[in-house]
């Protein structure tokens, strides 16, 4: 029987412990590696590759640097995990697919990975994910399905960690890494953060360089962190963005304008989610925030998200040649979604880009000028059972669409967004999503820090 997972403390505490000599990078890395290797845990499913020897050597080198008075950043010496779609020099980037198993090793780190490495992060391994990042559920028929910590002890109740950054979130929830690097095209950071009781930050898409990673949608892909606090995410985000790694001060909630999105974001919401989100918003209001319902016209259009099928079109453009030679190795459920882009014309794609540009302009005029942030449930349900997700293709498609529904709005609006845990401790994990205008990333993180304090007081 697996023991209860124990996450690492926040990065600020780990950095203080390193600075005061209460721990070493080698000790932190050994803890992470022990948890990954624990046969009673899920390390063999969460990680597709573990860098044990390299991580130990890096940790020892950073400990020597620290002893000599050199500390590269607040992330120096701390174990992190990297989603399997990022290039790491000398390793094969499989994107958790058998179709890329025989690909050549990467010749260089992705810029995001290189920036983490230069900051002194210790990469302990590559995490599992939905194949090619194309699902919000996190099921993977090739490498297994990482689990949420919720009800882990009851085998028949095993719940998904969420996707596509499933292993990223599970690695943090189980204390196999202090923070994780993930990607988010339609919710793939925020969904697993919500399902694992963690904090996940999706930056504005252009904030982090997107070279050196297997793309899903070159328009919508965003790279960002999953951690145990907003401050953890802020430190990693700024390092990824090439900015000084300081944490924005919490913005006072007094007078803050928060828009409660209407439309379908509260449709089919499970009682536990509705109760947690209602309690959270009431406490934010009691803390001084001004909450008001907000209506955004384009969301009234039936199947609005399906109309903006940028992901399938751009995914098919990248995959079409690989499908000719390795199509039989794809997860059939992923393959179906990629092939939805096969029949699109160049004119269709150009029209979609123009429609999205108009959508962004409307959002600027009607959402971002009126509100400091928009609020919605990250996901309308608590993490579903693995068996329920995998029962049949129809149920898989229904649940996948449901979990992607809310976060996908803000990818389409090129917003930055964060998911904060808001459930009572010991109960099913629930995420509260805050989203802000494109390029308002630091402002949103400052708001999220203040909101986090309120939510911690009620959890």
Same domain for 152 and 298, yes or no, is no
Task: Based on the fold, state whether residues 450 and 328 are members of the same structural domain.
Answer: yes
Domain with 142 in it: what CATH number?
Answer: 3.90.1300.10
Tokens standing for residue 155? 């085998």
Report the C-alpha gap between 370 and 386 in whole angstroms: 41
Residue 3 in this model has a pLDDT that exceeds 60: no
Residues 179 and 271 in one domain: no
Whether residue 39 lies inside any domain: the answer is yes
Mark which of 189, 205, 240 sits at the end of a domain: 240
Q: Quickly list DSSP for 319-385.
A: HHHHHHHHGGGS-HHHHHHHGGGTT--HHHHHHHHHHHHHHHHHHIIIIITT-SEEEEESSSSPPPB
Contact, 397 vs 356, CB < 8 A? no
> Do both 276 and 174 map to the same domain?
no
Residue that is last in its domain, among 240, 270, 300: 240
Residue 248 has pLDDT above 60, yes or no: yes
Taking the C-alpha atoms of residue 101 and residue 143, their distance in angstroms, rounded to an integer, is: 12
Cα radius of gyration (the chain): 21
Give the integer Cα–Cα distance in Å for 356 and 185.
15
Q: What is the pLDDT of residue 1?
A: 36
In a domain, residue 251? The reply is: no
Per DSSP (E only), the strands in 191-236 are 199-202, 222-227
Is residue 307 domain-shared with residue 228, that is, in the same domain?
Answer: no
What's the average model confidence in pLDDT over 252-275? Answer: 94
Report pLDDT for 458.
86
Q: Which of 179, 208, 240 marks a domain boundary? A: 240
Instruction: Specify the DSSP class assigned to residue 41.
Output: S
**For the chain, how many structural domains are there in total?**
2
Burial class of 225 by CB neighbour count within 10 A (0 to 12, 13 to 18, 19+)? buried
Average the pLDDT over 158-169 and give the result.
Answer: 98
Whether the model clears a pTM of 0.95, i.e. scores above it, the answer is yes
Asked if residue 15 and residue 114 are part of one domain, the reply reads yes
Q: Which of 130-134, 301-305, 364-368 has the lowest mean pLDDT?
A: 301-305
* 351-365 pLDDT per residue, tens: 999 999 999 999 999
Q: Are residues 389 and 425 in the same domain?
A: yes
Which range of residues forms the domain containing residue 215? 11-240
Q: Does 5 reside within a domain?
A: no
Q: What integer best gives the mean pLDDT of the chain? A: 96
Bridge-based pairing of strands 222-227 and 373-377 is: unpaired
Q: Give per-residue pLDDT as tens, 52-104.
A: 999 999 999 999 999 999 999 999 999 999 999 999 999 999 999 999 999 99
pLDDT category at 154 given cuts 50, 70, 90 is confident
Encoding tokens for residue 281? Answer: 């918003």
Quick check: 421 pLDDT over 60? yes
Which residues are catalytically annotated?
Answer: 83, 164, 188
Q: Within this chain, do residues 122 and 223 fall inside the same structural domain, yes or no? A: yes
- pLDDT recorded at residue 263: 84
Strands (E), 171-277: 179-184, 199-202, 222-227, 257-261
For residues 187 and 263, state if they share a domain.
Answer: no
Same domain, yes or no: 204 and 302:
no
């Amino acid at each position: 029987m697996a023991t209860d997972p124990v996450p690492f403390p926040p990065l600020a505490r780990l950095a203080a412990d390193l600075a005061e000599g209460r721990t070493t990078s080698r000790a932190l890395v050994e803890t992470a590696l022990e948890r990954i290797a624990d046969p009673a845990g899920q390390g063999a499913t969460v990680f597709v590759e573990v860098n044990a020897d390299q991580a130990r050597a890096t940790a020892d080198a950073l400990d020597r640097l620290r002893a000599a008075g050199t500390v590269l950043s607040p992330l120096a010496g701390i174990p992190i995990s990297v989603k399997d779609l990022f290039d790491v020099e000398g390793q094969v980037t499989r994107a958790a697919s058998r179709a890329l198993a025989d690909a050549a090793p990467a010749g260089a780190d992705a810029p995001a990975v290189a920036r983490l490495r230069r900051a002194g992060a210790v990469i302990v391994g590559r995490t599992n994910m939905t194949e090619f990042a194309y699902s919000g559920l996190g099921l993977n028929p090739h490498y297994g399905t990482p689990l949420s910590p919720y009800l882990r002890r009851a085998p028949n109740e095993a719940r998904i960690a969420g996707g596509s950054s499933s292993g990223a979130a599970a690695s943090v929830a189980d204390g196999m890494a202090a923070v994780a690097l993930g990607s988010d095209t339609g919710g793939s950071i925020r969904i697993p953060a919500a399902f694992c009781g963690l904090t996940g930050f999706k930056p504005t898409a252009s904030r982090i360089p997107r070279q050196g990673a297997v793309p899903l949608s070159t328009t919508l892909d965003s790279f960002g962190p999953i951690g145990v606090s907003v401050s953890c995410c802020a430190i990693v985000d700024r390092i990824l963005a090439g900015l000084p790694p300081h944490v924005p001060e919490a913005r006072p909630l007094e007078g803050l304008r928060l828009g409660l999105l209407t439309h379908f974001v509260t449709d089919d919401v499970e009682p536990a989610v509705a109760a947690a989100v209602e309690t959270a918003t009431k406490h934010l209001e009691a803390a001084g925030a001004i909450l008001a319902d907000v209506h955004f016209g384009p969301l009234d259009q039936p199947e609005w998200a399906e109309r903006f099928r940028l992901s399938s079109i751009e995914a098919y453009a990248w995959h079409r040649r690989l499908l000719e030679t390795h199509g039989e190795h794809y997860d059939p459920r992923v393959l179906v979604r990629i092939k939805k882009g096969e029949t699109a014309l160049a004119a269709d794609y150009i029209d979609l880009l123009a429609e999205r540009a108009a959508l962004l302009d409307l959002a600027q005029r009607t959402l971002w000028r009126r509100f400091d942030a928009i609020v919605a449930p990250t996901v309308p349900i608590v993490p579903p059972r693995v068996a329920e997700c995998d029962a049949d293709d129809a149920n898989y498609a229904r649940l996948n669409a449901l979990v992607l529904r809310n976060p996908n709005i803000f990818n389409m609006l090129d917003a930055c967004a964060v998911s904060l845990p808001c459930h009572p401790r010991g109960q099913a994990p629930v995420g509260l999503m805050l989203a802000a205008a494109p390029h308002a990333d630091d402002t949103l993180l400052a708001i999220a820090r203040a909101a986090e304090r309120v939510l911690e007081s009620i959890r």
